[in-house]
């Protein structure tokens, strides 16, 4: 199954921000993060198809998975 992945901020410097990856089996957000080389504890926000998700949620086929760094502001 294919999913679209977008990584924001400086989570993976030097890597492409957007990519399409093929998974050979259903996977959780955590498994995809590790596959990409992300450290799950450094991810601040996760979205699948625009809805906030958690690391243990399953990634549906054909979805858009986004990883954001921790957010701060004032």
Q: Which DSSP symbol is given to 37?
A: T
pLDDT at 16 over 90: yes
What CATH number is attached to the domain comprising 7?
3.10.20.30
Predicted local confidence at residue 71, as pLDDT? 79
Burial 11-46 (b: 16+ CB within 10 A, else e): bbeeeeeeeeeeeeeebebbbbbeebebeeeebeeb
24 falls within a domain: yes
29 falls within a domain: yes
pLDDT at 72 over 80: no
Please give the mean pLDDT across all residues of the chain. Answer: 94
Tell me which residue range forms the domain holding 39: 2-68
49 falls within a domain: yes
Predicted local confidence at residue 24, as pLDDT? 95
The confidence band for 61, taking pLDDT boundaries of 50, 70 and 90, is very high
pTM of the model: 0.92
| Residue 47 to residue 28: CA distance in whole angstroms | 12
- What percent of the chain is predicted at pLDDT more than 90? 91
Count how many domains the chain has.
1
Task: For residue 67, give the nearest of 25, 19, 27, 24 by alpha carbon.
Answer: 19
């Amino acid at each position: 199954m294919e999913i679209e992945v977008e990584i924001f901020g400086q989570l993976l410097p030097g890597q492409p921000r957007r990519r399409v990856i093929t998974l050979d089996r259903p996977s959780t957000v955590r498994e995809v993060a590790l596959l990409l080389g992300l450290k799950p504890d450094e991810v601040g926000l996760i979205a699948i198809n625009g809805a906030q998700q958690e690391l243990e949620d399953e990634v549906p086929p054909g979805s858009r998975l986004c990883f954001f760094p921790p957010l701060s502001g004032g």
